[in-house]
Structure 1
Amino acid sequence: MRCGSTASWWPARRRRGPAHGELLDEPTSSADRAAAQTLYRALAEERARRPLAVCLASHQLEDAYRWADDVRALADGRLSPVTPENLFRVELPSGGGDLKHVCVGTIEIAAATDKTGPAILAVPPTDIFVSREPLASSARNVFTGRVTRLTHQRPGAVLVTADVGVELVAVVTEEAARDLGLTPGGPVVFSFKASAVRVF
Protein backbone atom coordinates (compact mmCIF):
# COMPACT_ATOMS: atom_id res chain seq x y z
CA MET A 1 0.00 0.00 0.00
CA ARG A 2 1.40 3.38 -0.93
CA CYS A 3 2.03 5.97 1.75
CA GLY A 4 -1.10 8.05 2.26
CA SER A 5 -3.44 5.59 0.57
CA THR A 6 -4.74 4.10 3.83
CA ALA A 7 -7.01 7.06 4.63
CA SER A 8 -8.71 6.94 1.22
CA TRP A 9 -9.00 3.15 1.05
CA TRP A 10 -11.84 2.68 3.54
CA PRO A 11 -14.36 5.18 2.06
CA ALA A 12 -13.73 3.62 -1.35
CA ARG A 13 -14.27 0.17 0.14
CA ARG A 14 -17.61 1.21 1.66
CA ARG A 15 -18.86 2.46 -1.72
CA ARG A 16 -18.49 -1.07 -3.07
CA GLY A 17 -21.27 -2.24 -0.77
CA PRO A 18 -21.43 -4.26 2.45
CA ALA A 19 -19.27 -7.31 3.02
CA HIS A 20 -19.40 -9.91 5.79
CA GLY A 21 -15.65 -9.83 6.30
CA GLU A 22 -12.40 -8.12 5.41
CA LEU A 23 -8.94 -9.67 5.04
CA LEU A 24 -6.24 -7.02 5.46
CA ASP A 25 -2.56 -7.83 5.02
CA GLU A 26 -0.30 -5.20 6.63
CA PRO A 27 -2.71 -2.36 5.70
CA THR A 28 -0.73 0.29 7.58
CA SER A 29 2.83 -0.81 6.82
CA SER A 30 3.56 2.31 4.74
CA ALA A 31 1.10 4.68 6.41
CA ASP A 32 1.87 7.38 8.92
CA ARG A 33 0.43 7.12 12.43
CA ALA A 34 -2.52 9.44 11.77
CA ALA A 35 -3.61 7.50 8.67
CA ALA A 36 -3.30 4.19 10.53
CA GLN A 37 -5.47 5.45 13.38
CA THR A 38 -8.05 6.69 10.86
CA LEU A 39 -8.29 3.22 9.36
CA TYR A 40 -8.60 1.46 12.72
CA ARG A 41 -11.28 3.89 13.90
CA ALA A 42 -13.23 3.41 10.66
CA LEU A 43 -13.08 -0.36 11.10
CA ALA A 44 -14.25 -0.08 14.71
CA GLU A 45 -17.16 2.18 13.68
CA GLU A 46 -18.17 -0.19 10.89
CA ARG A 47 -18.09 -3.18 13.24
CA ALA A 48 -20.27 -1.29 15.71
CA ARG A 49 -22.73 -0.49 12.92
CA ARG A 50 -23.15 -4.05 11.62
CA PRO A 51 -21.68 -7.56 11.99
CA LEU A 52 -18.27 -7.58 10.34
CA ALA A 53 -15.37 -9.97 10.77
CA VAL A 54 -11.93 -8.46 10.18
CA CYS A 55 -8.80 -10.58 9.86
CA LEU A 56 -5.74 -8.33 9.95
CA ALA A 57 -2.12 -9.41 9.59
CA SER A 58 0.38 -7.05 11.19
CA HIS A 59 3.82 -6.85 12.77
CA GLN A 60 2.66 -3.85 14.81
CA LEU A 61 2.00 -5.56 18.14
CA GLU A 62 0.84 -2.37 19.82
CA ASP A 63 -1.94 -1.95 17.25
CA ALA A 64 -2.86 -5.63 17.48
CA TYR A 65 -3.25 -5.46 21.25
CA ARG A 66 -5.17 -2.20 21.16
CA TRP A 67 -7.67 -2.98 18.40
CA ALA A 68 -8.06 -6.77 18.20
CA ASP A 69 -10.55 -8.93 20.08
CA ASP A 70 -8.31 -11.95 19.53
CA VAL A 71 -4.59 -12.13 18.71
CA ARG A 72 -2.99 -15.20 17.15
CA ALA A 73 0.71 -15.69 16.45
CA LEU A 74 2.50 -17.54 13.67
CA ALA A 75 5.85 -19.22 14.28
CA ASP A 76 7.71 -20.78 11.34
CA GLY A 77 4.56 -20.56 9.24
CA ARG A 78 2.40 -22.40 11.79
CA LEU A 79 -0.14 -21.25 14.34
CA SER A 80 1.62 -20.85 17.68
CA PRO A 81 0.01 -22.53 20.73
CA VAL A 82 0.18 -19.21 22.60
CA THR A 83 0.01 -15.55 21.71
CA PRO A 84 3.30 -13.63 21.75
CA GLU A 85 2.50 -12.58 25.30
CA ASN A 86 -0.03 -13.16 28.04
CA LEU A 87 -2.78 -10.64 27.24
CA PHE A 88 -5.51 -9.27 29.50
CA ARG A 89 -8.18 -6.70 28.64
CA VAL A 90 -8.63 -4.49 31.72
CA GLU A 91 -9.93 -1.18 33.03
CA LEU A 92 -7.10 0.80 34.64
CA PRO A 93 -8.27 2.80 37.66
CA SER A 94 -7.67 6.51 38.00
CA GLY A 95 -5.41 7.71 40.78
CA GLY A 96 -2.90 5.54 42.57
CA GLY A 97 0.13 7.19 41.01
CA ASP A 98 2.30 5.26 38.58
CA LEU A 99 1.60 1.83 40.10
CA LYS A 100 -1.80 0.40 39.22
CA HIS A 101 -3.37 -2.74 40.73
CA VAL A 102 -5.86 -4.42 38.40
CA CYS A 103 -8.09 -7.44 39.02
CA VAL A 104 -7.64 -10.13 36.37
CA GLY A 105 -9.67 -13.25 37.05
CA THR A 106 -9.05 -14.08 40.71
CA ILE A 107 -5.66 -12.35 40.93
CA GLU A 108 -4.50 -8.75 41.10
CA ILE A 109 -1.73 -7.66 38.74
CA ALA A 110 0.50 -4.69 39.56
CA ALA A 111 1.57 -2.64 36.54
CA ALA A 112 3.85 0.38 36.38
CA THR A 113 1.86 2.88 34.30
CA ASP A 114 0.24 6.29 34.53
CA LYS A 115 -2.47 5.34 32.02
CA THR A 116 -6.14 5.04 32.99
CA GLY A 117 -9.24 3.57 31.37
CA PRO A 118 -9.55 0.63 28.95
CA ALA A 119 -6.22 -1.05 28.23
CA ILE A 120 -4.48 -4.28 27.38
CA LEU A 121 -1.90 -5.72 29.77
CA ALA A 122 0.79 -7.89 28.18
CA VAL A 123 3.24 -9.97 30.21
CA PRO A 124 6.16 -11.35 28.17
CA PRO A 125 6.65 -15.06 28.99
CA THR A 126 10.42 -14.50 29.12
CA ASP A 127 9.95 -11.93 31.94
CA ILE A 128 8.20 -14.40 34.25
CA PHE A 129 10.46 -15.99 36.87
CA VAL A 130 9.51 -19.61 37.60
CA SER A 131 10.10 -21.33 40.95
CA ARG A 132 8.58 -23.98 43.19
CA GLU A 133 8.22 -21.66 46.20
CA PRO A 134 7.86 -17.90 46.67
CA LEU A 135 11.28 -16.24 46.79
CA ALA A 136 12.39 -12.97 48.37
CA SER A 137 12.62 -10.46 45.51
CA SER A 138 11.49 -7.04 44.32
CA ALA A 139 8.75 -8.55 42.12
CA ARG A 140 5.33 -7.03 42.87
CA ASN A 141 3.52 -9.90 41.14
CA VAL A 142 3.89 -13.30 42.81
CA PHE A 143 1.31 -16.00 42.05
CA THR A 144 1.10 -19.59 43.26
CA GLY A 145 -0.64 -22.22 41.16
CA ARG A 146 -0.41 -25.53 39.33
CA VAL A 147 1.31 -26.46 36.09
CA THR A 148 -1.31 -27.37 33.49
CA ARG A 149 0.93 -28.02 30.49
CA LEU A 150 4.57 -28.27 29.44
CA THR A 151 5.30 -27.67 25.76
CA HIS A 152 8.67 -28.00 24.05
CA GLN A 153 8.60 -24.87 21.92
CA ARG A 154 12.05 -25.19 20.36
CA PRO A 155 15.30 -27.00 21.21
CA GLY A 156 16.29 -26.09 24.75
CA ALA A 157 13.12 -24.12 25.61
CA VAL A 158 9.95 -25.18 27.43
CA LEU A 159 6.66 -23.28 27.64
CA VAL A 160 5.24 -23.64 31.14
CA THR A 161 1.49 -23.04 31.27
CA ALA A 162 0.03 -22.65 34.75
CA ASP A 163 -3.27 -21.86 36.40
CA VAL A 164 -2.53 -19.17 39.00
CA GLY A 165 -6.06 -17.81 39.10
CA VAL A 166 -5.74 -17.02 35.41
CA GLU A 167 -3.74 -18.89 32.79
CA LEU A 168 -0.19 -17.60 32.40
CA VAL A 169 2.60 -18.87 30.17
CA ALA A 170 6.30 -18.63 30.99
CA VAL A 171 9.42 -19.78 29.17
CA VAL A 172 12.24 -21.70 30.86
CA THR A 173 15.14 -23.80 29.63
CA GLU A 174 14.80 -27.57 29.54
CA GLU A 175 17.50 -27.74 32.22
CA ALA A 176 15.54 -25.40 34.49
CA ALA A 177 12.34 -27.42 33.98
CA ARG A 178 14.22 -30.57 35.01
CA ASP A 179 15.94 -28.93 37.99
CA LEU A 180 12.62 -27.57 39.27
CA GLY A 181 10.89 -30.90 38.72
CA LEU A 182 8.06 -29.26 36.82
CA THR A 183 5.25 -31.66 35.93
CA PRO A 184 1.61 -31.17 34.93
CA GLY A 185 -0.41 -30.89 38.12
CA GLY A 186 2.63 -29.95 40.18
CA PRO A 187 3.02 -26.74 42.18
CA VAL A 188 4.64 -23.67 40.66
CA VAL A 189 5.17 -20.00 41.46
CA PHE A 190 5.23 -17.31 38.77
CA SER A 191 6.83 -13.95 39.62
CA PHE A 192 7.33 -10.80 37.55
CA LYS A 193 7.99 -7.12 38.14
CA ALA A 194 5.38 -4.43 37.70
CA SER A 195 7.74 -2.80 35.20
CA ALA A 196 7.66 -5.96 33.07
CA VAL A 197 3.94 -5.51 32.38
CA ARG A 198 3.43 -3.77 29.05
CA VAL A 199 0.36 -1.55 28.83
CA PHE A 200 -1.41 -0.72 25.55
Structure 2
Amino acid sequence: MNFVIKVENLTKYYGNRPVLDIAHLEFEKGKTYCLFGPNGAGKTTLLNILDLLESPTSGRIFFKGQEVNTSSLEARRKMGYVAQDPFLFDRTVFENVFLGLKMRSRRDEKEKVRRILEEVGLTNFEGRRAKDLSGGEAQRVAIARALIYEPEVLFLDEPTANVDRENIRTIEEFIKKISKNHQTTVIFTTHNLCQSYRLTQEVISLINGQATKSSPLNLFSCELIRQDGLRWALLSSSLKISVVSKLCGKAHISIDPKDIILSKEPLSSSARNCLSGRITKIEITGAQVRVELNTGVKFTAFITEQSFKEMALQVGGKIYLIFKSSSVKVF
Protein backbone atom coordinates (compact mmCIF):
# COMPACT_ATOMS: atom_id res chain seq x y z
CA MET A 1 0.00 0.00 0.00
CA ASN A 2 1.05 3.62 -0.59
CA PHE A 3 1.37 5.06 2.93
CA VAL A 4 2.11 8.76 3.21
CA ILE A 5 2.57 8.76 7.01
CA LYS A 6 3.50 5.93 9.34
CA VAL A 7 4.36 5.87 13.05
CA GLU A 8 6.04 3.11 15.05
CA ASN A 9 6.27 2.67 18.84
CA LEU A 10 5.20 6.25 19.47
CA THR A 11 4.82 7.51 23.04
CA LYS A 12 4.19 10.94 24.50
CA TYR A 13 4.49 11.97 28.14
CA TYR A 14 3.84 15.34 29.76
CA GLY A 15 6.00 15.01 32.86
CA ASN A 16 5.09 11.61 34.30
CA ARG A 17 1.64 11.61 32.70
CA PRO A 18 1.30 9.27 29.69
CA VAL A 19 -0.71 10.80 26.84
CA LEU A 20 -0.04 8.52 23.85
CA ASP A 21 1.17 4.95 23.45
CA ILE A 22 0.77 3.83 19.83
CA ALA A 23 2.58 0.75 18.54
CA HIS A 24 1.77 1.20 14.85
CA LEU A 25 -0.38 3.51 12.74
CA GLU A 26 -0.48 4.16 8.99
CA PHE A 27 -2.24 6.66 6.72
CA GLU A 28 -2.75 5.92 3.02
CA LYS A 29 -2.20 8.52 0.33
CA GLY A 30 -5.36 10.28 -0.86
CA LYS A 31 -7.71 9.08 1.89
CA THR A 32 -9.63 10.96 4.58
CA TYR A 33 -9.10 9.86 8.20
CA CYS A 34 -10.79 10.85 11.44
CA LEU A 35 -9.07 10.80 14.83
CA PHE A 36 -12.04 10.29 17.15
CA GLY A 37 -12.15 10.51 20.92
CA PRO A 38 -13.47 12.52 23.86
CA ASN A 39 -11.86 15.74 25.01
CA GLY A 40 -8.50 14.95 26.59
CA ALA A 41 -7.99 11.74 24.60
CA GLY A 42 -4.80 13.05 22.95
CA LYS A 43 -6.23 13.87 19.51
CA THR A 44 -4.61 17.29 19.16
CA THR A 45 -1.32 16.02 20.58
CA LEU A 46 -1.24 13.22 18.00
CA LEU A 47 -2.16 15.65 15.23
CA ASN A 48 0.69 17.98 16.23
CA ILE A 49 3.16 15.09 16.30
CA LEU A 50 2.06 13.82 12.87
CA ASP A 51 2.39 17.36 11.50
CA LEU A 52 5.93 17.56 12.97
CA LEU A 53 4.98 20.50 15.18
CA GLU A 54 5.69 18.56 18.38
CA SER A 55 8.20 15.82 19.18
CA PRO A 56 7.11 12.49 20.66
CA THR A 57 8.80 11.25 23.82
CA SER A 58 9.89 8.17 21.87
CA GLY A 59 9.12 6.44 18.59
CA ARG A 60 9.61 6.95 14.87
CA ILE A 61 7.63 8.92 12.27
CA PHE A 62 7.91 8.25 8.54
CA PHE A 63 6.78 10.53 5.72
CA LYS A 64 6.69 8.84 2.31
CA GLY A 65 9.08 6.18 3.58
CA GLN A 66 11.65 8.59 5.06
CA GLU A 67 12.08 8.99 8.81
CA VAL A 68 11.29 12.58 9.82
CA ASN A 69 11.16 14.83 12.89
CA THR A 70 10.39 18.43 13.83
CA SER A 71 13.55 19.56 12.00
CA SER A 72 12.46 18.03 8.67
CA LEU A 73 11.53 21.28 6.92
CA GLU A 74 11.11 19.72 3.47
CA ALA A 75 8.47 17.34 4.82
CA ARG A 76 6.76 20.17 6.75
CA ARG A 77 6.38 22.16 3.53
CA LYS A 78 4.30 19.31 2.12
CA MET A 79 1.85 19.44 5.03
CA GLY A 80 -0.95 21.87 5.82
CA TYR A 81 -2.45 22.52 9.26
CA VAL A 82 -5.65 24.32 10.30
CA ALA A 83 -6.08 24.92 14.03
CA GLN A 84 -9.40 24.74 15.86
CA ASP A 85 -9.32 28.53 16.25
CA PRO A 86 -7.26 29.66 13.23
CA PHE A 87 -5.32 32.93 13.16
CA LEU A 88 -6.01 35.30 10.27
CA PHE A 89 -4.12 38.49 9.51
CA ASP A 90 -6.01 41.79 9.75
CA ARG A 91 -6.25 41.97 5.98
CA THR A 92 -8.76 40.98 3.33
CA VAL A 93 -9.81 37.41 2.68
CA PHE A 94 -7.94 37.44 -0.64
CA GLU A 95 -4.75 38.76 0.98
CA ASN A 96 -4.88 36.15 3.75
CA VAL A 97 -4.96 33.33 1.20
CA PHE A 98 -2.53 34.94 -1.25
CA LEU A 99 0.05 35.93 1.37
CA GLY A 100 1.41 32.39 1.66
CA LEU A 101 2.02 32.19 -2.08
CA LYS A 102 3.89 35.51 -1.98
CA MET A 103 6.07 34.21 0.85
CA ARG A 104 6.93 31.20 -1.30
CA SER A 105 7.74 33.36 -4.36
CA ARG A 106 4.64 32.31 -6.27
CA ARG A 107 3.31 35.76 -7.09
CA ASP A 108 1.66 34.86 -10.38
CA GLU A 109 -1.14 32.72 -9.01
CA LYS A 110 -3.91 35.19 -8.12
CA GLU A 111 -6.35 33.23 -10.26
CA LYS A 112 -5.58 30.15 -8.18
CA VAL A 113 -6.65 32.06 -5.06
CA ARG A 114 -9.95 32.94 -6.69
CA ARG A 115 -10.54 29.30 -7.62
CA ILE A 116 -9.89 28.01 -4.11
CA LEU A 117 -12.15 30.69 -2.59
CA GLU A 118 -14.88 29.63 -4.99
CA GLU A 119 -14.33 26.02 -3.92
CA VAL A 120 -14.91 26.86 -0.24
CA GLY A 121 -17.95 28.99 -1.08
CA LEU A 122 -16.37 32.42 -0.53
CA THR A 123 -16.45 33.82 -4.06
CA ASN A 124 -17.83 37.21 -3.02
CA PHE A 125 -15.67 37.53 0.09
CA GLU A 126 -12.36 38.53 -1.54
CA GLY A 127 -12.43 42.12 -0.28
CA ARG A 128 -13.94 41.47 3.14
CA ARG A 129 -11.73 42.06 6.18
CA ALA A 130 -10.89 39.02 8.27
CA LYS A 131 -12.14 40.70 11.45
CA ASP A 132 -15.64 40.94 9.93
CA LEU A 133 -15.98 37.19 9.28
CA SER A 134 -18.03 34.72 11.28
CA GLY A 135 -16.28 31.75 12.89
CA GLY A 136 -17.36 29.45 10.06
CA GLU A 137 -16.25 31.88 7.36
CA ALA A 138 -12.87 32.33 9.04
CA GLN A 139 -12.46 28.56 9.21
CA ARG A 140 -13.11 28.27 5.47
CA VAL A 141 -10.54 30.98 4.75
CA ALA A 142 -7.99 29.09 6.86
CA ILE A 143 -8.70 25.84 4.99
CA ALA A 144 -8.37 27.66 1.65
CA ARG A 145 -5.06 29.16 2.80
CA ALA A 146 -3.74 25.72 3.75
CA LEU A 147 -4.85 24.12 0.48
CA ILE A 148 -3.39 26.84 -1.74
CA TYR A 149 0.06 25.34 -1.07
CA GLU A 150 -1.12 22.00 -2.54
CA PRO A 151 -0.10 19.98 0.56
CA GLU A 152 0.17 16.22 0.36
CA VAL A 153 -1.37 15.97 3.83
CA LEU A 154 -3.91 18.35 5.38
CA PHE A 155 -4.46 18.31 9.16
CA LEU A 156 -7.70 19.79 10.55
CA ASP A 157 -8.11 20.11 14.33
CA GLU A 158 -11.83 20.03 15.26
CA PRO A 159 -12.72 21.91 12.03
CA THR A 160 -16.32 22.70 13.05
CA ALA A 161 -15.95 23.13 16.83
CA ASN A 162 -16.57 26.91 16.82
CA VAL A 163 -18.85 27.07 13.80
CA ASP A 164 -22.57 27.78 13.35
CA ARG A 165 -24.84 25.05 11.96
CA GLU A 166 -25.03 26.44 8.41
CA ASN A 167 -21.26 26.65 8.11
CA ILE A 168 -20.86 23.17 9.62
CA ARG A 169 -22.74 21.68 6.66
CA THR A 170 -20.70 23.72 4.17
CA ILE A 171 -17.37 22.75 5.75
CA GLU A 172 -18.33 19.08 6.02
CA GLU A 173 -19.32 18.92 2.36
CA PHE A 174 -16.03 20.53 1.39
CA ILE A 175 -13.93 18.17 3.56
CA LYS A 176 -15.56 15.18 1.85
CA LYS A 177 -14.32 16.48 -1.52
CA ILE A 178 -10.74 17.45 -0.61
CA SER A 179 -9.13 14.04 -1.12
CA LYS A 180 -10.76 13.59 -4.52
CA ASN A 181 -10.31 17.13 -5.82
CA HIS A 182 -6.78 17.72 -4.51
CA GLN A 183 -5.32 14.19 -4.18
CA THR A 184 -4.58 15.16 -0.58
CA THR A 185 -4.60 12.93 2.50
CA VAL A 186 -6.89 14.54 5.09
CA ILE A 187 -6.55 13.82 8.82
CA PHE A 188 -9.07 15.58 11.06
CA THR A 189 -10.04 15.34 14.71
CA THR A 190 -13.50 15.36 16.27
CA HIS A 191 -15.30 14.28 19.42
CA ASN A 192 -18.56 14.13 17.42
CA LEU A 193 -19.18 10.49 16.49
CA CYS A 194 -21.95 11.25 13.99
CA GLN A 195 -19.69 13.74 12.21
CA SER A 196 -16.86 11.23 11.96
CA TYR A 197 -19.06 8.79 10.04
CA ARG A 198 -20.63 11.50 7.90
CA LEU A 199 -17.18 12.36 6.56
CA THR A 200 -15.31 9.04 6.33
CA GLN A 201 -15.33 5.34 7.13
CA GLU A 202 -11.62 5.55 8.11
CA VAL A 203 -12.15 6.28 11.81
CA ILE A 204 -9.30 5.86 14.29
CA SER A 205 -10.38 5.81 17.94
CA LEU A 206 -8.13 7.09 20.70
CA ILE A 207 -8.71 5.27 24.00
CA ASN A 208 -6.44 5.84 26.99
CA GLY A 209 -3.74 7.08 24.62
CA GLN A 210 -3.93 4.04 22.35
CA ALA A 211 -5.10 4.19 18.74
CA THR A 212 -7.29 1.56 17.16
CA LYS A 213 -9.01 1.38 13.79
CA SER A 214 -11.86 -0.44 15.46
CA SER A 215 -15.18 1.33 15.13
CA PRO A 216 -15.86 3.80 17.96
CA LEU A 217 -19.40 2.44 17.90
CA ASN A 218 -19.92 -0.63 20.10
CA LEU A 219 -16.72 0.14 21.98
CA PHE A 220 -16.69 -1.15 25.57
CA SER A 221 -14.47 -1.54 28.60
CA CYS A 222 -14.67 -5.06 29.97
CA GLU A 223 -13.16 -7.80 32.13
CA LEU A 224 -11.86 -10.82 30.21
CA ILE A 225 -12.39 -14.18 31.93
CA ARG A 226 -12.06 -17.86 31.06
CA GLN A 227 -15.16 -19.98 31.67
CA ASP A 228 -16.30 -23.37 30.34
CA GLY A 229 -13.21 -23.55 28.16
CA LEU A 230 -14.09 -20.27 26.42
CA ARG A 231 -12.97 -16.66 26.76
CA TRP A 232 -15.65 -14.13 27.72
CA ALA A 233 -15.83 -10.35 27.97
CA LEU A 234 -17.92 -9.24 30.94
CA LEU A 235 -19.67 -5.96 30.09
CA SER A 236 -21.86 -6.02 33.20
CA SER A 237 -22.89 -8.45 35.91
CA SER A 238 -25.59 -9.82 33.59
CA LEU A 239 -24.04 -9.49 30.12
CA LYS A 240 -21.08 -11.41 28.71
CA ILE A 241 -19.81 -11.75 25.14
CA SER A 242 -17.83 -14.62 23.66
CA VAL A 243 -14.48 -13.48 22.26
CA VAL A 244 -11.36 -14.97 20.69
CA SER A 245 -8.37 -13.85 22.75
CA LYS A 246 -5.54 -15.07 24.95
CA LEU A 247 -5.76 -12.01 27.18
CA CYS A 248 -7.17 -11.92 30.69
CA GLY A 249 -8.15 -9.05 32.95
CA LYS A 250 -9.18 -5.51 32.04
CA ALA A 251 -9.43 -4.77 28.31
CA HIS A 252 -11.46 -3.04 25.62
CA ILE A 253 -13.56 -4.67 22.93
CA SER A 254 -15.33 -3.40 19.82
CA ILE A 255 -17.81 -4.88 17.38
CA ASP A 256 -18.15 -3.37 13.93
CA PRO A 257 -21.80 -2.33 13.41
CA LYS A 258 -21.73 -4.02 9.98
CA ASP A 259 -20.82 -7.38 11.60
CA ILE A 260 -24.03 -7.51 13.64
CA ILE A 261 -26.97 -9.47 12.23
CA LEU A 262 -30.45 -8.40 13.35
CA SER A 263 -33.34 -10.84 13.60
CA LYS A 264 -36.80 -10.85 15.13
CA GLU A 265 -36.22 -14.44 16.23
CA PRO A 266 -33.15 -16.23 17.64
CA LEU A 267 -31.12 -17.75 14.81
CA SER A 268 -29.55 -21.19 14.79
CA SER A 269 -26.04 -20.47 13.53
CA SER A 270 -22.35 -20.87 14.34
CA ALA A 271 -22.29 -17.38 15.88
CA ARG A 272 -21.83 -17.72 19.65
CA ASN A 273 -23.26 -14.34 20.55
CA CYS A 274 -27.04 -13.87 20.46
CA LEU A 275 -28.35 -11.00 22.59
CA SER A 276 -31.93 -9.82 22.97
CA GLY A 277 -32.82 -6.16 23.22
CA ARG A 278 -35.13 -3.34 22.20
CA ILE A 279 -34.77 -0.88 19.33
CA THR A 280 -34.30 2.65 20.68
CA LYS A 281 -33.61 4.63 17.49
CA ILE A 282 -33.71 4.20 13.71
CA GLU A 283 -31.90 6.52 11.29
CA ILE A 284 -32.10 6.08 7.51
CA THR A 285 -29.07 7.49 5.65
CA GLY A 286 -29.25 6.62 1.96
CA ALA A 287 -29.07 2.88 1.33
CA GLN A 288 -27.86 2.24 4.89
CA VAL A 289 -29.97 2.16 8.04
CA ARG A 290 -28.50 2.77 11.47
CA VAL A 291 -30.31 0.93 14.26
CA GLU A 292 -29.58 1.68 17.91
CA LEU A 293 -30.47 -0.99 20.45
CA ASN A 294 -30.48 -1.55 24.19
CA THR A 295 -29.60 -4.97 25.58
CA GLY A 296 -28.76 -3.58 28.99
CA VAL A 297 -25.81 -2.12 27.10
CA LYS A 298 -26.26 0.16 24.08
CA PHE A 299 -25.34 -1.27 20.66
CA THR A 300 -25.47 0.10 17.12
CA ALA A 301 -25.98 -1.97 13.96
CA PHE A 302 -25.89 -1.01 10.27
CA ILE A 303 -28.23 -2.87 7.92
CA THR A 304 -29.36 -2.35 4.34
CA GLU A 305 -32.53 -0.44 3.56
CA GLN A 306 -33.91 -3.62 1.97
CA SER A 307 -33.37 -5.64 5.17
CA PHE A 308 -34.94 -2.85 7.19
CA LYS A 309 -38.07 -2.89 5.03
CA GLU A 310 -38.31 -6.69 4.99
CA MET A 311 -38.14 -6.90 8.80
CA ALA A 312 -40.46 -3.89 9.29
CA LEU A 313 -38.42 -2.72 12.26
CA GLN A 314 -39.91 -0.16 14.63
CA VAL A 315 -38.65 1.76 17.64
CA GLY A 316 -39.56 -0.16 20.78
CA GLY A 317 -39.66 -3.51 19.00
CA LYS A 318 -37.87 -6.56 20.36
CA ILE A 319 -34.82 -7.65 18.38
CA TYR A 320 -31.97 -10.15 18.52
CA LEU A 321 -28.34 -9.22 17.84
CA ILE A 322 -26.19 -12.02 16.44
CA PHE A 323 -22.44 -11.83 15.83
CA LYS A 324 -19.45 -14.18 15.81
CA SER A 325 -16.77 -14.33 18.49
CA SER A 326 -14.22 -13.58 15.77
CA SER A 327 -16.03 -10.31 15.00
CA VAL A 328 -15.16 -8.99 18.45
CA LYS A 329 -11.84 -7.10 18.44
CA VAL A 330 -9.97 -7.20 21.73
CA PHE A 331 -7.26 -4.71 22.75
Superposed structure 1 runs of 4+ greater than 6 Å apart: 1-4
CA contact (8 A) 2:225 2:234 kept: no
1:197 corresponds in structure 2 to 328
Q: Does 1:157 align with 2:288?
A: yes
Q: What residue in structure 2 maps to residue 176 of structure 1?
A: 307
More displaced 10-residue stretch of structure 1: 102-111 or 162-171: 102-111
Q: How much identity, in percent, do the aligned residues show?
A: 28
Alignment partners' CA distance in 2, 1:147 and 1:95: 30
Q: Does the C-alpha gap of structure 1 residues 26 and 141 become closer, same or farther in structure 2, counting only changes over 3 Å?
A: same
| Aligned mate of 1:35, from 59, 70, 78 | 59
| TM-score normalised by length of structure 1 | 0.63
1:75 to 2:96 alignment? no
The whole-number CA distance in structure 2 between the counterparts of 1:132 and 1:28 is 48
Query: For 1:52-63, what aligned pairs fall within 5 Å after superposition?
Result: none
2:24 is the counterpart of 1:24: no
> 1:25 Cα deviation (Å)?
4.2
Q: 2:216 matched to which residue of 1? A: 84
Q: State the secondary structure of the residue aligned to 1:93.
A: strand
Deviation at 1:96, TM superposition (A): 6.5
Equivalent position of 2:248 in the other structure: 116
Structure 2 counterpart of 1:188, from 316, 319, 327: 319
Q: Which has the larger radius of gyration?
A: 2
Q: Which amino acid aligns with 1:102?
A: A
Match of 2:264 in 1: 132
Give me the CA root mean square deviation. 3.7
CA shift digits 1:141-170 (9 cap, x unpaired): 0011111110123x1000111111211111
Q: Which amino acid aligns with 1:175?
A: Q
- TM-score calculated relative to the size of structure 2: 0.40
- CA–CA distance in 1 between the matches of 2:306 and 2:273? 24
Cα separation, 2, equivalents of 1:95 and 1:144: 21
Q: Distance between the aligned counterparts of 1:164 and 1:85, measured in 2? A: 15
For 1:113 and 1:103, locate their aligned partners in 2 and report how far apart those are by CA, in whole Å. Answer: 13
| 1:43-69 Cα distance to aligned partner (Å, 9 max, x none) | xxxxxxxxxxxxx98xxxxxxxxxxxx
Q: What secondary structure sits across from 2:316 in the alignment?
A: coil
Inter-partner Cα distance in structure 1 for 2:220 and 2:6: 34
CA contact (8 A) 2:7 2:59 kept: no
Paired positions, count: 153
- CA distance in 1 between counterparts of 2:7 and 2:303 reads 41
CA distance in 2, matches of 1:3, 1:160: 35
Letter in 1 for 2:197: A
Query: Residue 171 of structure 1: SS of its match in structure 2?
Result: strand
Mean Cα deviation higher: 171-180 or 103-112: 103-112
2: CA distance, partners of 1:100 / 1:71 = 33
